[in-house]
Structure 1
Amino acid sequence: PEAYIAAHNTEIFVRLTDANGCFDTGSFRLLIIDCYFPDGVIQVTNIAQTCDSRSITVNYTVGNPNSFDLLPGGTQVAIYANTTLLATTVTTANIPIDGTENGTITLNIPGSIPLSFNLILVVDDNGTGTGAVVEIIETNNSYTRPVNLWVSPILLEPADITACETFNNSGVGQFDFSAYLTSLKNNPADVVTFHTSQDDANNGDNDIQAPDAYISTGLAQEIYVRLEDVNGCFDTASFTLTAVDCYFPDATVTIDDIYKQCNSRILHVHYTVHNTGSADILPAGTPVSIYVNGQFLDYTETLEDIAIGESESNFILLTIPIGIPLDFDLTFVVDDTGDGTGTIVEANETNNSFTQPTNLVLSPVMQQPADIELCDKGFGLATFDFSSYAETLKNYPDETVTFYLTQQNADQDIDRIYNTTQFVTTENPQRIYVRLFNGTCHTTASFLLKTKKCPPITYNYVTPNDDGYNDKFFVEGLRNVFLNFKMTIYNRWGNLVWTGDHNKEDWNAIATEEKVGPEGTTVPVGTYYFVLELNEPGFPEPIVGWVYVTK
């Protein structure tokens, strides 16, 4: 019964017998049907599309694998975008068992369909989900393929780039725009290239190979950039490379010296304009303005072009206006027309000014030094100490006081008197000239060194033993002072012992008028009395005193 061969619609009878021999009968028919069917399948082999277009061309293959009959020509194929029917087509010929037929169809994707969708091809589908061919398998007629319509990437406009000239007046610069290789991408797989023309950018030709060290062709050059995605879609933009002059001078100024005149408001100022730390010449005619305490005073200009690293020195006479105090700030500003604005582009615009505190100089005021009078030490002369004037005549600690014998020497500061503590006069009175100097100006004055006759000073002991001490009766301030003096010496009984004057030596205890001792002429030990007549106007009364003579 497992391999019975019968004709169509043959009736077969069946008997069912139990163990007791009891049975029943029935029948069934053998019906022969057509089981040899095709099996239609479909597959997309390629999808061709272009950038920014909703038209795609689909290559597909309809197959009849593992079937038992041919797939008839005219079998319908429906094509969907997601659930939207796009088109229908049919096979062109019978497809034999295990055979295939290739087909191509161009589809226009409606605008309502998103850029990303599923493209579905169904064989044996009339567009309503209904087929006309009986197949071995009715569930393998569909093929789905995700599709992304190609849209050109959007290239953000790159910023322009400015760089310094490669060298002074070259007109070209070296630029690094390699960062755009990454920053302009929308996706990591995008490719960014740079070109020197729009045509090259459109075609992707002749891209710049070293964007990290590109030398421009002029002061301003347009660079075209192409952004291309994995599908070959692209967008272009451009940016400008501008080479600017970064090689500038750097003007600075210094005040070198200020020459002043005593009691004058005119200054003779020497200054220097420098161009150090620069990369270009400083042109002739660069303005220089002068200010006093921030007030504009005068204007001048440089004379010649100043080369890199060089300088130009000059001088100017300035008259300080009345109303400006004696102490003030003198400011020179290079590249300043007098209103704080310049005419030169510089590497450093903050170092143009130089300020020096200065002052107008006046002759110092000196108090009239007082004359100095001492007692006559002989012949109208004496030893003077006027060293205290070196400090007491100063107005300020930094002034100097010096002394001279003549006015000419004081004015010229020559032949100073250095011994001011023990100065011995050579005439009476003697004029001394003093000079007070403040570093720039000086003032002179003078004072007198005078002597006067003072009462003599007597000493009361005489020891005539030739030991060199008190061997004679000494009277200080007598000899060479009172030339007409007369001295007489008496013993205690009033006897005249000695008389003397300017022409005789001092008394040595020897009696010249009357012998008073037992031996020789030396007076005995004892007290003696003297009368000193000076015979000088102003000293009418004699000086009377005692002197003691001892061995």
Structure 2
Amino acid sequence: MNSYSQEVTLYKQFGGHIDFTIIGNSMNLDENGAFSNCVINTSSSATLNLTDDETIKGAYLYWAGSGPGDFGVQLNNESITSQRNFNAVLETVDLPYFSAFYDVTAQIISERNTEYTLSELDLTDIISAYCPNGTNFAGWAILVIYENPNLPLNQINIYDGLEYVPNELSISLNNIDVIDTIDSKIGFIAWEGDAFLSVNESLYINGNLIGNPPLNPNDNAFNGTNTYTNSDELYNMDLDEYSIQNNIAIGDDTVNIQLTSGQDFVMINTIITKLNSQLPDATISIDNFQITSCNNRETQCYVTVYNNNSTKELPVNTSITIYGDENLLATTFTTSIIPINGSESIEIPLIIPESILQDFELKAVVNEINPVLEIRTDNNEYFLFINYPLPPVLEVQSPIENCNLGFEKGIFDFSDIYTEIITTVGSDVTITFYPTEEDYLNDTAPINPNFDYENISNPQTIYIKATNDLTGCYSYVTLPISVYNCPPFIPDGFSPNGDGINDEFNISGLYDIFTSFNLEIYNRWGTLVYDTNQNKEPWNGRLYNTKELVPTGVYYYILYPNDSNYKTVQGSVYVSR
């Protein structure tokens, strides 16, 4: 008999004052076979009964059947989509089979002792191909791990997959540490076992034939039975439990299971072991790796050492080693005894070698130096890929020159520059404008780029800082700004009639800008009638010596800007009434 299947391997471990039980039911109406009715249910029920002092720690639903798979079911009307799937193919008849998994811990804790109904497991459309060779089946089971303070300290290992039993199947269960053999047991969730097929069907633990007669005879281990309800009508599935305290020895670190079957097509889905064990189990996590600034090699690594799923305290001075791309970066030790299900958090200063920047793999290892004996040694490492990001790249900014509005002041609009930078570097970067280098260094007096800005010196250097919001990595670029004297606007006339409108010869862009200017006004005969500068009032159409209004007419001016960028300007202005 040939088949494709998935190896049964360790899924989860528990430690403490714990034990397990299994509930479930078949969808078959009777034992399948060539002459059975080719009919199957889509729902069935089973009841969970725990005592008041038994606290649920975990609950796992498995369901299985003929066909490529039905991975959406309901448990007590709660819709479930499988989280893990297993498949097998019986190649001699080219037929597939499946198993599915879902963690139902929260639901079982909430509903606790009640009748559980699995529904919507509908294989009615596909089983006709399976009935002739007697492999039409469907069923479900819930494995429940519970804690009871009156129990001894135990280690429970859950192994799952989907392995078929051809003539012989051997499964080696590792991650075992036998401290005491008392009350040790093993449980099975298996599918498609038939009571009437008992040809060379046997179960061996560490080479010893075991059984549980009369429910599970030594020559018919998988026979459609339920140890937990003492039922022999769990058609085409088995929820069986066996004592193995006489089949293991103190110090064993593996349990070897051997199954044989001369005819029956049996699939092993889940194996559960309970052993008395008193050992710690050290694990570690990297909680935070602090990048203080871009490419800063001095940093802090924050780790937590756990002693979860253990049955003994983790001793003080358990080692912690930190590696960067296999380069040893630091070694330290726990400072306290870590109790069962306890933890200790530790801050470790690091200096990252320049050779491994920018990107590297950070590895934390617990219990590596002078290791203490523990339940598992394959869960002592934690990996974290570190990406030292480059600072945001900012383009060099072109200088901005605006007109002098007076006393070397100007108005500047940074909004377009801000928008262009954000578009270039991305929305996860914060852009900040600062008026001076000191403000940039101290993160003070930021400029809001959405409002007009008046310079505080001329010229002035604006500092633009780009900060990566995720890492704090930053860069900056400078923006030179300055004001210059724009050409003044000289009107061609004014009317000093006292109406408050255009009463003065007001040259826009002259006062407070060309602060050294001189302006002279002459009549048509070349006589000076008025002169002014930064410190005198504009000409109001009166003679500077008599204060009398000049007659209507054309007058001539000479403007001396006294600015190296401008020449003397001569022109005329008309004075009207």
- Shorter chain as normaliser: what TM range? 0.3 to 0.5
TM score, norm. by length of structure 1? 0.47
TM score, norm. by length of structure 2? 0.46
